A = this chain, B = another copy of it.
């Protein structure tokens, strides 16, 4: 996989993490149109605050690190962001306002800016059109890099992401960077990105924890004329692929469940119901144990929408209907077989409304607990 035209990237190990690359740079040959969608958490990290403020102006570079979120770091955090973007700007001969930044890792630790700045030269020396080293440098507890590509005529859309935990309602410690060479005005790019994020990253859940650092940024280098409807489709495809890769690589996760909600009053209601099932620790434990304990799905739906009429509700696991119109049904042994797969569907019909949505979620395992009992300080 290659970056679209006019884009290059590199990665190095600068010593924030104990092993592996932890610093990545993406450079645009000429100023790129820039759009972004960020966490709505009030404890948004310093890099989020900086990069959010850059929306509307073209950018020349993106600097990202893993191993430290630079979140809840107060004045030190703000200073660090200024220092790293100034250093990149000095190297590229642009203004620091032309540089966006992102960080992921533990919260509350001071960002070691000297290590970052001291390695910019090495990054510049390694720039290439291969996005994979950059994608790898974003990894925290991810077990593989996440990349996706879609074609748009002569151009393309290429995205990279990292996920793992703190993935929830409205994104999470999740970074995604998407680049296209298609010409697209900024406002249009922003609305295309927002739409694609809503139907992908905002419909996944690992642990229902919304992070301080979630960022999805999109860059258009404007090298290729292309159809914007096709660009929209390609953006959706790339975002959907990255979102699914994130859930598949959920911390400690062993299963991907597709929660399909139908019959809700509208899409938002369907998404809320799907996320309620996705967030149920009890159901997620049952999924880990391949136990078709569908009552936990019903209980999650019923606590999300207290007006739900159980006589209109159906729950199925795979194609096995387990609860239908107020009555238990189905064969647990068939449902258990479905749940033994590492990718299966939970169907929830909640009425006869037009609202439908698919939410992707992971199971809750002892490995998740182990990973998150030991992660920082």
Contact = CB atoms under 8 A, between A and B. Distances in A.
Contacts of A296: 107, 209
A166 B299 CA distance: 10
Interface string A88-102: 000000000000000
Contact of A291 (B288, B306, B374): B374
A377 B107 contact: no
Interface in A327-377: 327-328, 332, 336, 364-366, 368-377
Given A72-B310, A293-B106, A326-B74, A299 B375 contact: no
Contact of A73 (B108, B279, B328): B328
A106 B295 CA distance: 8
A300 B72 contact: no
User: Which of the four size classes fits the interface of chain A?
Assistant: 35 or more
**Is the contact region of chain A dominated by helix, strand, or loop, or is it mixed?**
loop
Contacts of A106: 293, 295
A208 interface: yes
A377 B292 contact: yes
Nearest to A336: B377
A306 B41 contact: yes
B375 A293 contact: yes
Contacts of A366: 366, 369-370
B332 A41 contact: no
Contact of A298 (B43, B208, B368, B369): B43
Number of copies: 2
Given A327-B75, A366-B369, A373-B289, A42 B310 contact: yes
Contacts of A73: 328
B43 A285 contact: no
Given A108-B323, A281-B208, A328-B74, A44 B302 contact: yes
Interface of A: 40-44, 69, 71-75, 106-108, 110, 165-166, 168-169, 207-212, 279-282, 285-286, 288-289, 291-296, 298-303, 305-310, 322-323, 326-328, 332, 336, 364-366, 368-377
